[in-house]
Amino acid sequence: MDLRISQLPFVTSGAPNSILAIVDYNSAITGVTSAIYFSSVTANLSGATGTSGTNGTSGTNGTSGTNGTSGTNGTSGTNGTSGSSGTSPTSPYSYVYGLFTQTGNSATVSGTTSETSIVGNGKGTLTVPASGFSVGDTFTLKMLGDIGAANGDELIIRVKSGLTNLADTGAISLPNITNSHFQMEISFSVRATGSATNAIIVSSGFFIYNQNASGSLESASFSTINNTTFDTTISNTLDVTAEFDTTAAGTFIYTEILFLNKVY
């Protein structure tokens, strides 16, 4: 078809098989209008970028996995060191406490003129170990018991540490006494410590009993300083003895209560 350009129809788009008129398409200039398929022209031409498609919906979450097994526990740490103990409070005063208490009657001294102990068994101790005394140590011994005697009988009470005589009542001339009671109290105070002739102890006390005639109280008192035979470098065990000058059956003495306290 040989048409003038002005005679060709005007189009804005084409199908693949549409014929497109191209003026002077051939390389040789002939002045002839040739034809070519529209698809041949557009095959190597990129079209305009299309609009982006809409995003797809998100997929559903998968199921959670199972928890793993717990790890093993670590070993325990070592304990810290203990704090140091606090110091005990010190008292500005000496402690006062019981040393001994008799828990039964002593032996009964009767029918003999021999010196015999009137200290019974008990709890605690009557012994101070070697070098256990300090200057100023003070003790009190108290005794209560029963006594009987005929008028004119004599009794000597001795306070002893082993074989060392600390104090005694001297010979007490007794009145007529029938199953009566007595009380004796003795205090001791250490004035110096050391071996014999250096150590000093003072012992003082009284002995009280009832007589039959008037029921009145009779007493004997004593006080002795021992600065010759008392020895604190050795063990000292306290004892109290009784000695009558008669073997008469009605003359007797025994202790029911006896206790020793440290008072300073």
DSSP states of 167-217 as a string? EE---EE---EEEEEEEEEEEEEEEE-SSTTT-EEEEEEEEEEE-TTT--E
C-beta of residue 72 within 8 angstroms of C-beta of residue 90: no
In this predicted model, what pLDDT tens digit does every residue of 51-84 receive, in sequence order? 766 776 776 776 776 777 877 877 877 887 887 7
CB atoms within 10 A of CB 164: 16
Distance, CA of 133 to CA of 136 (rounded, Å):
9
* C-alpha–C-alpha distance, residues 203 and 192, integer Å: 13
Name the token pair of 73: 């526990």
Spatial distance between the Cα atoms of 171 and 49, rounded to a whole number of angstroms: 147
User: How does pLDDT run across 171-205, given as a tens digit for each residue?
Assistant: 999 999 998 999 999 999 999 999 999 999 999 99
Predicted confidence at residue 225, as pLDDT, reads 97
Q: What is the DSSP string of 89-105?
A: PPPSS---EEEEEE-S-
> Does CATH number 2.60.120 belong to domain 97-262?
yes
Q: How high is the pLDDT of residue 144?
A: 98
77 HSE (CA, 13 A, CB side): 3
Each residue's pLDDT tens digit, 236-264: 999 999 999 999 999 999 999 999 999 99
Q: Please tell me the distance from the alpha carbon of residue 41 to that of residue 44, in angstroms, as a whole number.
A: 7
Higher pLDDT, 40 or 77: 77
DSSP class of residue 169 equals: -
Average pLDDT over residues 96-110: 94
CA distance 237 to 36: 149
Contact 156, 168 (CB under 8 A): yes
**pLDDT score, position 83:** 72
DSSP secondary structure letter of residue 31: S
Tell me the one-letter amino acid at 259.
F
> How many percent of the chain have pLDDT more than 70?
74
Mean pLDDT along residues 204-231: 91
pLDDT at 48 over 90: no
Torsion of CA 81, 85, 86, 89, to 10 degrees: 180
Longest dimension (CA), the chain: 190
- Whether the CB-CB separation of 16 and 39 falls below 8 Å is answered with yes
Q: Domain extents for the chain?
A: 5-42, 97-262
